[in-house]
Amino acid sequence: MSEALQPTREGDLTFAHGTPFRLEGGGALQPVSVRYAVYGELNERRDNAVLVCHALSGSARVADWWPEMFGSVFDLSRDCVICTNILGSCYGSSGPPSINPVSGKPFGPDFPIVTIRDIVRAQAHVLDEIGVKRLRIVIGASIGGMQALQWAVDYPERVEHCIAIGTAPLSAMGLALNHLQRKTIELDPEFKGGRYAPGEQPGRGLGLARAIGMCSYKSAELFDERYARKPNRNGEDPVRSIAERYDVAGYLDHQGEKFVKRFDANSYLVISKAMDTFEMGRGYASEAEALQRIKAHVSLVGISSDWLFPAKDIRALAERLRAAGVQCDYTEFETSHGHDGFLAEMDAIAAVVNGSFHARRLAVVHKNAGRKLGG
């Protein structure tokens, strides 16, 4: 496996030293730190910037988690690719693990509620500092797609093309699943009201939350194809005892164990809540009024087997955008990988995204046709 492409530069931007950064939910941060990474260089006209918005547990180092987009979609001889770590995360930006300047200790559960709009406003501060006034493209999947859409609404003069993959306001089922994940964390005795010590986080609760999340990121078809009713591959026999598992259970437990080693439980609570509260119409008279602000061309990508963000919900959003007078195209990516298709089949997703630059039309893109669509 080749090494990930390294950023041209990365760093931290800290702002709101003198005046608090007011948050949509009523809280405030002072100061605010945002971790960012830049790949490539801005041209003299400063009109070649591409902002990539990461999903729930991603980081600013986009080439680490979306490598296939470089070379196929992002051309660093042409594009300057920028990504920031979102507020609330544990990968460098202000979040629950950060030091609260008032107490001198990590914020933990005292970190305020942040929304997608707050995250986007913080990103705008970074772009201002870098010298980017207009984005050629803003692109993201899942909660990253929410950010891309919020950019198009709140900063219409700054966005030329918005690409949102596998995203829409969460349905009641999505809200329910996020609620259950947060409850599993909070009910872990090691959670301690969110005041666990560094390195002693509630592993059982966070691991189970991630396992529930993985069920929503995959599809029933994929689970049947991969695991069916096979006993766990380490030789367990589910007939012998309650503790012995089927293969799918072993997979989910493994995913939870891996996640606990790399992510923070309080950050998971904050970011999943931000996902819940995404509503483009909030702060405007209606969603229709918010959508009418958009001047960018919007490309929406639905994922055929996604049941966290069903393709029908994204098609419906495309129709609302068109009704608001927005230039909008919709592409449906066919895969059995569910919501995780944007990560699991990166080559094909890259081809779908490339196609959206040229084909302003409704299409269903089959996963085995991904290479053919590349530009």
Which amino acids are annotated catalytic? 142, 306, 339
Any idea what DSSP says for residue 114?
-
Tracing tokens 């003069």 back to the chain, one arrives at: 157
Residue 304 dihedral angles phi and psi, to the nearest 5° = -55, -40
Tell me if 9 sits within 8 A of 80, measured CB to CB: no
The two tokens of residue 310 are 């069903």
3-state secondary structure of 206: helix
Tell me if 86 sits within 8 A of 118, measured CB to CB: no
Tracing tokens 């409850």 back to the chain, one arrives at: 183
Burial of 333 (0-12, 13-18, 19+ CB in 10 A): buried
Please state, in angstroms and rounded to a whole number, the distance separating the CA atoms of residues 91 and 73: 25
Q: 34: Cβ–Cβ under 8 A, 6 or more apart, which residues?
A: 12, 13, 14, 15, 84, 85, 87, 92, 93, 94, 122, 123, 125, 126
Could you give the residue ranges of the DSSP H alpha helices within 324-363? 341-344, 346-356
Residue 149 dihedral angles phi and psi, to the nearest 5° = -65, -40
Which stretches does DSSP call E strand in 42-172? 49-53, 80-84, 137-141, 161-165
3-state secondary structure of 287: helix
Cα–Cα distance list, 271 to 24, 266, 267 (Å): 14, 9, 6
Tell me if 62 sits within 8 A of 83, measured CB to CB: yes
Please state, in angstroms and rounded to a whole number, the distance separating the CA atoms of residues 80 and 161: 15
Residue 10 dihedral angles phi and psi, to the nearest 5° = -150, 155
Helix or strand (DSSP H, E) at 148: helix 143-154
The two tokens of residue 21 are 């950064």
